[in-house]
């Protein structure tokens, strides 16, 4: 999608962090943007920033864990703009600092419902409409570099992001017939409010857990989300499958690939023994 000007984007989790960075970067390229977030006031604030860039914007409150609410988001976006060219399934949450065996069931359910369920709901709500729409379309799903190599003490987050990577790779393979491409964003440490994501935790997923202040300090030292937004914008233009923000994270990913290759080498030896 070489020319973004005049086209329409929908960004979930757009009320702050990476979502805000994506929304503003797309607006700078002339795209109209639907800013969707569970925090409607935050979405309205970002939508105002988008409009200040001379394009149309719309704020919409949505809980991405609820299919009916995501369907309403799709209905409103198409009713307002008649088309959607870029869908960014970006909403995400996590807990930190717990071994997998210590993570409560409600934490697993919450993180998977937002990070994975939100992507699934976005695809299910928007994809039939995108398939019926002529021209180029693109989907960007936000995963994490933790979706490509194991990371301790955030097991539910890792599980959700591995799944998002796989869904994105599959959608990339399947979407060509309808002129739908797909990218997966795999950022490293970005200066976002993810440590405070539990402020919007839905009652159905239980009480929040305490976050270590050291983790909050680490996040504060991360990459500017506005820069991440510009990286995502360029990746859409260049039709990149994997969107990386931190080249230095290549090493742990390659270490994982080396372990996978070693597993195949072991399998080869078993075949020879037979």
For residue 77, tell me if it sits in a domain: yes
For residue 270, tell me if it sits in a domain: no
pTM comes to: 0.93
For residue 68, tell me if it sits in a domain: yes
- What is the C-alpha end-to-end distance of the chain, expressed in Å? 51
Task: Give the chain's domain count.
Answer: 1
The CA-CA-CA angle for residues 81, 61, 94, to 5°, reads 120
157 is catalytic: yes
The answer on pLDDT for 212 being more than 60 is no
Query: Using one digit for the tens of pLDDT, what is the confidence trace for 105-162?
Result: 999 999 999 999 999 999 999 999 999 999 999 999 999 999 999 888 889 999 999 9
Beta strands in 5-93 (DSSP E): 8-12, 32-37, 57-61, 86-89
For residue 78, tell me if it sits in a domain: yes
Query: 223-250 burial, b if ≥16 CB within 10 A, otherwise e?
Result: bebbebbbbbbebbeeebebbbbeeebe
Query: Using one digit for the tens of pLDDT, what is the confidence trace for 123-134?
Result: 999 999 999 999
Structure confidence at residue 192 (pLDDT): 87
For residue 31, tell me if it sits in a domain: yes
For residue 274, tell me if it sits in a domain: no
Query: Which candidate in 157, 162, 205, 244 is catalytic?
Result: 157
For residue 273, tell me if it sits in a domain: no
The CA-CA-CA angle for residues 184, 80, 54, to 5°, reads 75
For residue 272, tell me if it sits in a domain: no
Give CA separation, 19 vs 47, 70, 192, in Å: 11, 16, 9
What domain range is 161 assigned to?
A: 8-249
What CATH number is given to the structural domain containing 80?
Answer: 3.40.50.720
What number of H helices and E strands is found in the chain? 9, 7
Q: For helices 155-174 and 117-132, give the axis angle rounded to 10 degrees.
A: 10
């Amino acid at each position: 999608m070489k020319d973004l000007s005049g086209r329409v984007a929908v960004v979930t989790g757009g009320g702050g962090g990476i979502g805000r960075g994506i929304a503003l970067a797309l607006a700078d390229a002339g795209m109209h943007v639907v800013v969707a977030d569970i925090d409607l006031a935050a979405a309205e604030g970002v939508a105002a920033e988008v409009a200040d860039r001379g394009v149309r914007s719309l704020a919409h409150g949505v809980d991405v864990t609820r299919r009916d609410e995501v369907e309403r988001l799709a209905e409103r976006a198409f009713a307002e703009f008649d088309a959607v060219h870029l869908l960014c399934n970006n909403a995400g949450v996590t807990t930190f600092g717990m071994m997998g065996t210590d993570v409560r069931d409600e934490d697993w359910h919450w993180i998977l419902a937002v990070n994975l369920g939100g992507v699934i709901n976005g695809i299910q709500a928007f994809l039939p409409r995108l398939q019926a729409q002529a021209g180029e379309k693109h989907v960007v799903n936000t995963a994490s570099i933790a979706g490509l190599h194991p990371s301790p003490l955030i097991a539910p987050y890792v599980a959700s992001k591995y799944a998002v990577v796989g869904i994105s790779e599959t959608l990339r393979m399947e979407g060509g017939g309808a002129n739908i491409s797909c990218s997966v964003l795999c950022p490293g440490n970005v200066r976002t409010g993810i440590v405070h994501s539990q402020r919007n935790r839905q009652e159905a997923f239980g009480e929040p857990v305490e976050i270590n202040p050291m983790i909050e300090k680490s996040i504060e030292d991360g990459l500017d989300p506005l820069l991440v937004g510009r990286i995502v914008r360029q990746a859409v233009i260049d039709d990149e499958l994997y969107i990386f923000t931190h080249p230095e994270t290549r090493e742990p990913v390659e270490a994982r690939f080396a372990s996978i290759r070693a597993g195949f080498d072991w399998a080869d030896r078993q075949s020879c023994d037979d």
